[in-house]
Amino acid sequence: MINVGGLELKNPVIAASGTFGFGREFSEYYDLGRLGGISVKGLTLEPRMGNKTPRICETPSGILNSVGLQNPGVHEFVRTEIPFLRQFDTKIIANIAGNSFSDYEQMAEILNDADVDAIELNVSCPNVKDGVVFGQDPQLLEKLTRSVKDRFEKPLFVKLTPNVTSIVDTAKAAEAGGADGVSLINTLLGMAIDIYRRRPVLANNTGGLSGPCVKPVAVRMVHEVYRNVNIPVIGMGGIETGEDAVEFIIAGASCVMVGTANFADPLACIKVIDGIEEYMEKMKIKDVRELVGSLEFN
Amino acid sequence: MKTNYLCRVEELKRLTDTIWLLELDASNIREDIKPGQFFHVKCGEGYLRRPFSVCDFKDGMLRIAFEEKGRGTKALARVKQGEYVDVLGPLGNGFDIGYDRICVVGGGIGVFPLLYLLNKSEGSRKDAVLGFLCKDKVVLENEFENSCDNLVIACDDGSYGVRGFVTTALEKHLEKHDFDIVYTCGPSIMMKKVYEICKKHNIPCQVSLEERMGCGIGACLVCVCEVKKENVLQNKRVCKDGPVMWANEVYYD
Ligand SMILES: Cc1cc2nc3c(=O)[nH]c(=O)nc-3n(C[C@H](O)[C@H](O)[C@H](O)COP(=O)(O)OP(=O)(O)OC[C@H]3O[C@@H](n4cnc5c(N)ncnc54)[C@H](O)[C@@H]3O)c2cc1C
Ligand SMILES: Cc1cc2nc3c(=O)[nH]c(=O)nc-3n(C[C@H](O)[C@H](O)[C@H](O)COP(=O)(O)O)c2cc1C
Ligand code: FES
């Protein structure tokens, strides 16, 4: 067992939000109880249809996506998806997104009364009131974190966006607001152009970059944040193998999330879990905790 | 539990300058494979898998016909006999095959899933109306000939078969023959026109859709299409709820 900000995990691998739905499809490929946890598709207060298609574009060693938070809404999640997920011995992390303080606060209250194990605050969305992205403004982020923390008794993680000048500043803001941990990185804002049509490939024009191409950026950010905050860090960005996961753990992550890798290989999370075990056996390490942040600079 | 499979390449045949027929030993696939379903296939170094319809499946031999377009299909066109291809599937919802008098309408590379459909259908009458740009693009003519009762081929430029669009050929065909269902796959403007013709003749119509995919299994929601069911607009996943859909729900007015 590892404890990440009060969340007890049987292993350090969690399925990343938006790449795993509510687990239903993957439950046809393996027992979801093998996972440390599942961060579900980003939830909003009301159901959302999401963006127009194309919503995906392959890029060198990765993808751009612009799903636009299509989801059935938090109420439907509580009604039908939690009971489904509870059949499996794994932790349920509710990933939530909103466009106002009130959106987030209402969802926190609803989820406080529901059977979830933690909240992951997706703050990559703009606050409609002033157009500023919550996760890009440290003061706004601290305030938002505090107001969700006041309404939700279980562990709260803030998912940091890499689209900032200093991720340390936003990580510290989350910590000051009372977050039990931070998870990073969300996708990097990008664009791809169809040169024959001279138009963006994605219907939404821009999208979020993920997959192996973002891994070095993510590892660097995880390490910077690890050195500067005292709450646990959940690392992600391009993890495909146990070795990739170990790299994040050495950089300072207490556990990891696996996202885009699930697309090419539905068994990716299981392979990462097994790969970490193999590494530990080979290196004669008994407890992953020994590895966390064990990086030594040259 | 479901899984991906490694299938041995038995043969890779060139059908036209850009179209290939890949034959895979799929005897290790124990699941039932329905017409209209697809496989999500690893192609070379491409990061995502590529979706390809089942063109035929018989005695453990899986056939996939594909057109060389970009990075993935170019890599797939270079596989060698004896190598293994990583396939995930069968995926998606196939055609409803419980109809008696059936007509399949295909355009270009959209004809591929229709061959397996004809082979699996137990209907008493099975016709095919297929359209291609020109004579050089006509593929699998013998296979279709053997799998249906009546084959009409149309070429846009008149270089083979009847001259003109496949939809014109279909209109003529429906004036002479009755069908219980029309199944169609091809470019979306073509399928929409096919649906309008079917509507005029009061024939139900199923379409097989294409959309860019991520996971291919229904989890990531990148492949959605808007459908109207019982007057409510909703997003359906082409990979999981489709790729086959009822035309009247896709091309709602
Ligand atoms: C359900 C379904 C069944 C299909 N069946 C067949 C078939 O039997 N034979 C055949 O030749 N083609 C079929 N296609 C189209 C085929 O998937 C694309 O031609 C192929 O993915 C192109 O890959 P690429 O790397 O060569 O092209 P690129 O343009 O380099 O591909 C870049 C990305 O876009 C995606 N993409 C490009 N074109 C399409 C497309 N038309 N549809 C979906 N994704 C696309 C690719 O998968 C890849 O992720 C099918 C598509 C779908 C959705
Ligand atoms: C299709 C897709 C949808 C995503 N949806 C969400 C989401 O709803 N909420 C969220 O916090 N992150 C979302 N993400 C970001 C991932 O959870 C993850 O942070 C990012 O993709 C980096 O990890 P990866 O490279 O392993 O995918 C999404 C990513 C993808 C590819
Ligand atoms: S491709 Fe992921 S839901 Fe269809």
Is residue A55 a part of any domain in this protein? Answer: no
Enumerate residues 6+ apart whose C-beta is below 8 A from B202. Answer: none
Say if residue A142's pLDDT is above 80.
yes
Alpha-carbon distance B69 to nearest alpha carbon in chain A (angstroms): 14
CATH fold for the domain made of B4-91: Elongation Factor Tu (Ef-tu); domain 3 (2.40.30)
Kindly list the domain boundaries of chain B, sorted by start residue. 4-91, 101-208
Would you please indicate which residues of A are annotated as catalytic (active-site) residues? 125
Nearest ligand 3 atom to the CA of B224 is 4
Task: Identify whether A297 is part of a domain.
Answer: no
% pLDDT > 70, chain A:
100
| pLDDT higher than threshold 90 for residue A130 | no
The predicted-structure confidence for A204-236, as pLDDT tens digits, reads as follows: 999 999 999 999 999 999 999 999 999 999 999
Rounded distance, CA B51 to CA B44, Å?
14
pLDDT tens for each residue of B112-155: 999 999 999 999 999 999 999 999 999 999 999 999 999 999 99
- The gap from C-alpha A22 to its chain's centroid, in whole angstroms, comes to 14
DSSP single-letter state for residue A67? -
pLDDT in the model for residue B253: 74
User: What does the alpha-carbon distance between residue A45 and residue A156 come to, in Å, rounded to a whole number?
Assistant: 18
- Predicted confidence band of residue A253 (pLDDT cuts 50, 70, 90): very high
List the CATH code of the domain at B101-208.
Answer: 3.40.50.80
Core vs surface per residue B48-85: b (16+ CB within 10 A) or e = bbbbbbbbbbeeeebbbbbbbeeebbebbbebeeeeeb
Cα A257 to ligand 2 centroid, rounded to whole Å: 10
pLDDT of A186 > 90? The answer is yes
Structure tokens that stand for B130 in this block: 């297929």
Q: A201 pLDDT exceeds 80? A: yes
What is the pLDDT confidence band of residue A129, given thresholds at 50, 70 and 90? confident
Please tell me the predicted confidence (pLDDT) of residue B67: 97
Of A19, A56, A65, the CB nearest to B219: A19
Residues 6+ away with beta carbon under 8 Å from A130 = none
| Residue A148 forms part of a structural domain | yes
Which chain B positions have a beta carbon within 8 Å of A25's beta carbon? Answer: 215, 217-219, 240
Contact across the interface for B2 and A264, Cβ inside 8 Å: no
Q: How far is B70 from chain A (nearest CA, A)?
A: 11
Would you state the pLDDT for residue B96?
97
Q: How far does residue B95's CA lie from ligand 2's centre (Å)?
A: 33
Residue B237 Cα: closest atom of ligand 3 = 4
Nearest CA to ligand 1 atom 5: B52
Mean pLDDT score, A265-282? 98
Query: What CATH number did the domain enclosing A110 receive?
Result: 3.20.20.70
User: Is-contact A218 A185, C-beta < 8 A?
Assistant: yes
Contact state of A263 with B225 under an 8 Å Cβ cutoff: no
Judging by beta carbons within 10 Å of its beta carbon (0-12, 13-18, 19+), is residue B171 exposed, middle or buried? middle
Q: For position A126, what pLDDT does the model report? A: 73
Which residues from A are below 8 Å from B42, CB to CB?
264
Using the beta-carbon criterion (under 8 Å), do A264 and B49 form an inter-chain contact? yes
CB atoms within 10 A of CB A192: 17
Residue A230 is assigned to a structural domain of this protein? yes
What's the rounded mean pLDDT across residues B47-53? 97
Q: Which domain holds residue A157?
A: 2-50+67-188+212-290
**Which residue, B150, B69, B147, B161, is CA-closest to B115?**
B147
Q: The complex's ipTM?
A: 0.94
Best probe residue, ligand 3, of B40, B222, B245 (max atoms within 8 Å of C-beta): B222
Using the Cβ of B212 and the Cβ atoms of chain A, whether some distance falls under 8 Å is answered with yes
Residue A127 has pLDDT above 90, yes or no: no
Contact A65 B222 (CB under 8 A): yes
HEC secondary structure over chain B = CCCEEEEEEEEEEECCCCEEEEEEECCCCCCCCCCCCEEEECCCCCCCCEEEECCEEECCEEEEEEECCCHHHHHHCCCCCCCEEEEEEEECECCCCCCCEEEEEEEHHHHHHHHHHHHHCCCCEEEEEEEECCHHHCCCHHHHHHHCCEEEEEECCCCCEEECCHHHHHHHHHHHCCCCEEEEECCHHHHHHHHHHHHHCCCCEEEECCCCCCCCCCCCCCCEEEEEECCEEEEEECCCCCEEEEHHHHCCC
Is residue A233 within 8 Å of residue A250, measured between CB atoms? no
| Predicted TM-score (pTM) of this structure | 0.96
**Count of domains for chain A:** 1
pLDDT score of A159: 97
Q: What is the B193 CA–ligand 3 centroid distance (Å)?
A: 27
Which atom of ligand 2 is found nearest the CA of A187? 20
- Report how far ligand 1's centroid is from the alpha carbon of B69 (Å): 8
Is the CB of residue B21 below 6 angstroms from any atom belonging to ligand 3?
no
Percent with pLDDT over 70 in chain B: 100
